[in-house]
Chains A and B, each alone.
Chain A
Amino acid sequence: MASVSEMYDVTWEEMRDKLRKWREDNHRNSEQIVDVAEELINEHASKLGDDIWIIYEQVMIAALDCSRDDLAWTCLQELKKQFPGSQRVKRLGGMRLEALEKYEEAGKQYDSILQEDPTNTAARKRKISILKAQGKNTDAIRELNEYLELFVGDQEAWHELSDLYINEHDYGKAAFCLEELMMTNPHNHLYCEQYAEVKYTQGGLENLELSRKYFAQALKLNNRNMRALFGLYMSASHIAASPKVNAAVKKANVKYAAWAANQINRAYQLAGRGTKENKCSVKAVEEMLESMQITMS
């Protein structure tokens, strides 16, 4: 089988830089990471210098994600040799136990880290991940709430909690988590859009109006967000069609919906040019927008 460097015609430096980018962006493209890093380590270990240790960590986690215990074990041994007694390496050992579904042993590993260092957030979060892996969602939610009382600025944890609440259909609490995220990340269009989706799901006129506002806000932050555009269209349409609104509100929402429909059509026309492939999707959207307009008037 051809090597990565042969297939993509890249140098070892480019491979190393790609790995760094994936690390910084926290990408979970584990299969790719394993392919690239395995070759880098096997062929060019000597050139990597001290970078090799962080690469070992990165590829070990990716290997666990791909069930490559052989590779994960090798990386773990190298790291244990270089950093004996390290908490960070101990946590990696715990993750390997998790991957092998040895949850009790993994839990004990994290507990021993926490005994030495009760503020070790990584170990606490791994313990919560174990609960999630075992399907114990209510326990995970409870533990995560306790965690957030102590570490209130942990964005990743707030987002995880909102996801857990969504899966439990507890939309009110999911919205609360997303509100925290929007406060600390006012320019993040994805949080606005997710918040709008949760409000829409909760239903009722007040929530629909809120959802429309936040879909609009998401669009202001990123006018290419198709989910926000469709969301704006649908929420405005539903408000306009509701018997509880007065004429002025109805008129305004018909306008918003019409604007959104226009934008959607434009986006699809642009996308439809040049490729024969998505003609079906373009036609489906056109018809859908037409049919929804009929039900609104």
Chain B
Amino acid sequence: MEGGASGEGGASARDGAEPGAGQSREQGERSGLHSHSAPQLGVWFLDRFCPCGSDTAVLAQPPPPPPPSRAQTFSTPGRGSSPSRRLGNVRGAAGPPSPPGRRARPPAPGAGRLSGAAREELRRRLLGLIEGHRVVIFSKTYCPHSTRVKELFSSLGVDCNILELDQVDEGASVQEALSEITSQRTVPSVFVNRVHVGGCDHTFQAHQSGLLQQLLQQDPAYDYDLIVIGGGSGGLSCAQEAAVLGRKVMVLDFVVPSPRGTAWGLGGTCVNVGCIPKKLMHQAALLGQALTDSRKFGWEYSQQVRHSWATMTEAIQSHIGSLSWGHRLALREKAVTYVNSFGEFVEHHKVKATNEKGQEVLYTAAKFVIATGERPRYLGIPGDREYCITSDDLFSLPYCPGATLVVGASYVALECAGFLAGLGLEVTVMVRSVLLRGFDQEMAEKVGASMQQLGVRFLRKFVPVEVQQLERGLPGRLKVVAKSTEGTETIEGIYNTVLLAIGRDSCTKKLGLEKIGVNVSEKTGKIPVNDEEQTSVPYVYAVGDVLEGKPQLTPVAVQAGKLLARRLFGGRSEKCDYVNVPTVVFTPLEYGCCGYSEEKAGEVYQAENLNVYHTLFWPLEWTVAGRDNNTCYAKIICNKLDNDRVIGFHVLGPNAGEITQGFAAAMKCGLTKQLLDDTIGIHPTCGEVFTTLEITKASGLDITQKGC
């Protein structure tokens, strides 16, 4: 069967025009572009095993990685059928030739000398091509030697991926890069399972000696095309997209219970202990505010309204349960294998999956995506793991937390403090230094001030040193001892609950990454990747919160995961764009931003080149409700040297989340101050305030609102 299909492919390779039928599995993978050539991977050379450099080279040792247990046939039905897109210049022997217009553009036009970066990029692409396919032949259509080689593989019934260097724009550059990789300047240049066999003569000699057949059998037949470790937003989106593209995919997801014993199902942080429950609790708190307002709007009800923590958490947990279930269904529908086990690398291309009962199973895959995310950090002080909770525990807490100390000033800390206060609890926030580090500090302080207005107490410049239990119970009573960061002062406080929100650590320590050489930042524990989410090991990728230096947001992870799958398996080239990612802090008064903070903009562009427009505003809904008229604040930062382009957008007010999204889209489209001025507001909304900004900070003019 296989031979027949490939024979036909071989014929089409000769004339290069016959429409092909059975495309090989490898073709679908052709976009798998890899970067680094890690020492233990990349291209292998026959002459490495052949000291004399003769053509009759013998493999002294098999090239890594060792082929895994399960054999796999080629041309698996239903796979690899995705048409050639990005690398239209690389044809499978059986595939139709790409029309000239669809050829991939080279990194630099023409055959001229490429820049260093472009050369490196091309080199990466070539290595990716070589690594991602069983047989790759660099050829020229008019070269009789190339034709002979192609005929040879055709007669062996082997599908090849052929790059005709005279048919692509960057042919000369490819040839140059190839010669750097292989020291061979001429075509054909043949690679079999990542081993550089050589030119026409070498290939025929290898065929005669049986070496070629041996190499062909080295084909790595893995259990899966892709194993994703971590079933959160990024991992699931990548897994599902890869499955949609016809790949065999596994997701390993396992939640290690928190020190308090809280665990949850599939879906990761966002669904279970992040965005979803926090936004719902935020909504519960907003409804509390709405109830207060509603009296002024004429609604009459009994004065005492109490809040039931249990009713709220049950409702929220039931929604989370349905989401988690939905994820499982989606995986099943897309034929993604989901295993509720902890995955860790044991060797190249192989992970050990350990389930709850300690049972271990080994799985292999051609590619891996690490999407294990992060978990809350503990202080490392007496009593923290025993008595404190984190956001991992809060949303499913079976009892009302009562008077709560929130430790930290991250957005998680402020959001939790905000909704707990909104639900009527007594809340204190202990802050070591600044609020919302990394965010615009003027906005951060305003967020803090707005929370203070709602009754949240802030203890600035203190850190806890010990937590003691005074009383057991649900909640119990805890004593917290804290010391000043500036002097020797010590304070004590008594709370029902202490919630730690001092930061999060990435889950990279127990993954066995060191066994396969994936670099992890020593300082942050995060995984550095290139702009294609590739780690230091070419077949291992990472998405989501585990990445170093990338925004830790669900939609970013979802987008990155999806685009990664499309690049790996769908012949696409689009990369995840991490620029101008909007984000919102769901504090009682929401804070939305996109682009630069004022501080960062000053660093990058110099303060004198910036116009900062700002104003306080009074939402119409607040007027009747009698809420403060100088709390909500809008600010944009414009670059004078670039046509007053908006490079930073900040809004503190109700529905900041809904407002910010569209402005982020506008910033993607090159928003300028002029365009803001030319745009008509929607009346009466909060968002319209941005269309009438007139006062710059530099002018020093008064921005307070006097009634209307």
A, B co-complexed: no
* B contacts, CB < 8 Å to A: none
* A contacts, CB < 8 Å to B: none
